Structure 1
Amino acid sequence: MSDDRTKIARNFIDNLPHCRALGIVLDTIGEGEAELFMPYSTELIGDPETGVIHGGAVSALMDTCAGAAVMSHPNAGIATATLDLRIDYMRSARPGATVTAHGICFHMTRSVAFVRVSATDGTSDVPVAAATGAFTVERKR
């Protein structure tokens, strides 16, 4: 992926208000793949008794990761948006652990991109969640 495209994607994610609020950071990106992480924060707790991060925060991380994977695809358009995102939660992220999402844009048509994302916390072979999605591919007119 070109350095310019990497800079544009990184700048875009760094400036999304929800990414800043959730502490989401772009780690790597290129050729239809992206990896983002979200450090544990007490402000993201969904269950005060256990300290488990709210599923909505994990969902936002996965959705953003999927969009970044689409943006970095060699046949990407000028913009993208989520059409559909199905997330299967397999377990809670361990309290205190950073959650990492890895997304792959595995197929792209003229107007739709298809993505798979997994979220892990580094504490188990079982992912925290897995997702599949479809995203728009906006092209110049």
Structure 2
Amino acid sequence: MKIPHDVTAWAQFLAFSPYTVRLGIEAVAAEDGGCVLALPYAPEFIGDPDSGVLHGGAVTALIDTAFGFAVFFRIQAFRPMATLDMRIDYLRPARPGMKIHTRARCYKLTPELAFVRGCSYEDDVEDPFASCVGVFMFTVGQPAFGKAAKVP
């Protein structure tokens, strides 16, 4: 099955989760093995009222969601998975009042794991405020490729 790269088609998947709906996460771009998602700036997601900087939890939610979608676009199938590890290196605070984006790419697959890297930025991918890497574990079902695993 080939997953369409039409953003309006796959953005519907974001609408299935109350979590992504509440955060307002938006589909921006998709390609084989990668995607860009965005999080609009909202006062309820501010972590520091004095500066207006978004809370790290909101940023992490965007990154984690973008990483999961990048895996989805790489394996071209629906498979349950869990975030096994994620590292976010903040290079600077995100600018208050601006929509933030995460570009994610799944660069390596094994039958049990998916490896993803990306960055978060406001309006210029060449000026990221965070660099991130993650590992996802497939939780049930068939491996992403190769010989089928036996499920008890």
Compute the TM-score of the two structures, normalised by the length of structure 2: 0.81
> In 1, distance between residues paired with 2:58 and 2:70?
19
In structure 1, the residue matched to 2:59 is: 58
Contact residue 40 and residue 97 of structure 1 kept, 8 A: yes
In structure 2, the residue matched to 1:16 is: 17
Alignment of 1:2-81 (within 5 A): 2-3=3-4, 9-74=10-75, 76=77, 78-81=79-82
Alignment of 1:120-135 (within 5 A): 120-122=121-123, 125-135=126-136
Change (3 A) 1:29 1:125: closer
Which 4+ residue blocks in structure 1 deviate beyond 4 angstroms?
Answer: 4-9
> In 2, distance between residues paired with 1:125 and 1:3?
27
Change (3 A) 1:34 1:125: closer
Bigger relative contact order, structure 1 or 2 (CA pairs below 8 A, ≥6 apart)? 1
Identity %: 37
Moved more, 60-69 or 123-132: 123-132
For residue 117 of structure 2, give the secondary structure of its aligned residue in structure 1.
strand
> In 1, distance between residues paired with 2:35 and 2:43?
26
In structure 2, the residue matched to 1:99 is: 100
> In 2, distance between residues paired with 1:124 and 1:106?
18
AA of the residue aligned to 2:43: T
Cα RMSD for the two superposed structures: 2.5
In structure 2, the residue matched to 1:108 is: 109
Aligned residues: 141
* 5+ residue gaps, structure 1: none
Deviations 1:84-138 (A, max 9, x none): 1111111111111110000000000111000002100126843111111100234
* 5+ residue gaps, structure 2: 143-150
In structure 2, the residue matched to 1:139 is: 141
AA of the residue aligned to 1:14: A
> In 1, distance between residues paired with 2:21 and 2:53?
20
Moved more, 7-16 or 27-36: 7-16
Change (3 A) 1:72 1:6: farther
AA of the residue aligned to 1:135: F
Q: Which has the larger radius of gyration?
A: 2
